[in-house]
Structure formats: C-alpha cells, structure tokens
Amino acid sequence: MIKEINIKDRKAAQQVLRVQLQAYKIEAEIIEYPDLPPLKETADTLRITGETFFGYFIGEELCGAISFKENKDVIDIHRLIVHPEHFRKGIAQKLLNYIERRPMIGKMIVTTGSKNTPAVAFYLKNGFSEVERININESLTITAFEKYLPNSDSSN
C-alpha cells in the first residue's frame, strides 16, 4: 500500500532513513562513489528537506519511498529508494506511477548517477529522456532526465 509519510515526524524520518541508507549503499557500490551525499543524511536533515514523501508499505514495514518537490506543474523527484530486500518487486514502478497520476502535473524531472545503469534503464523505460550529464567531480557524473506527461501543455 502507498501512503503519504509525514517526514516531519521523527519516527517516520528514521524509518525512511533506514531504507535510504540501505538503498544508497547499493548505488554507491554500483557507481563506485562511496561518498554519496544521501549516505550522510540524518533523520533530522530529512525532516527539513521540504520534500513530499510517499512510502510503499507491506503491513507496517516501509519497503520503498519516493520524495519530490512540486513547482507549478513540475515534479522534481529527489529520491526513489527501495530497500534491497525488496528489489525487483515492482515497488519503484508503483511509486513512480503513483506520483505521475497527481493532478495538474506536466513534467517530471530527476537525476541519478550516470553509472547507475539500473536507475538509468528504469527512467528510460518509463519514458524519460536524458537532457544533461553533469560532472560533479572527477569521480562522479550525474544524468538529468525529464518526462513530459500526456495531457500537458508544458511540451508545447
């Protein structure tokens, strides 16, 4: 079941952080960059992000989460995380589909590590287009993606 998470609640933020640390530990290994900023976040920093969070729950267990900021008709996805024990169960897809159905959204944007081939493939499969590669430093490049949604005037 997908439901909104009150990230300002300390217990909820700790729950998200547990999933985030496990998910980003895998990404750090894939992209060979152990210094990923999300691995340094705390429950307190999550609580003040200003992002909207939705979680995918099995019973009371948080298995995955998506967070974003909305600006006019654009959703900027900040994190799409799934606990490694729940990889390949369609959780990321369900979370993405869920926010894509929000009313009045014309475009979604997201970035991921360029070497994160599973994430890159996921976004491309879901109709996102690569718009830019950004060199953060000599060890890290991120790729920016965007997707215009049907029934949107944003692509005109």
Provide the residue ranges of all domains of the chain, joining segments of one domain with +.
2-148
Q: Tell me the two tokens of residue 58.
A: 């099995």
Q: Tell me the two tokens of residue 101.
A: 């159905």
Please give the CATH topology (third level) of the domain spanning 2-148.
Aminopeptidase (3.40.630)
How many other C-beta atoms are found inside a 10 Å radius of the C-beta of residue 68? 22
Sheet holding 140-148, edge to edge: 2-5, 52-58, 61-71, 74-82, 107-113, 140-148, 129-137
**Residue written as tokens 């547990």?**
18
- Residues 56-111: pLDDT tens digits? 999 999 999 999 999 999 999 999 999 999 999 999 999 999 999 988 899 999 99
- Residues 5-64: pLDDT tens digits? 999 999 999 999 999 999 999 999 999 999 999 999 999 999 999 999 999 999 999 999
Say how far apart CA 112 and CA 134 lie, in whole Å: 10
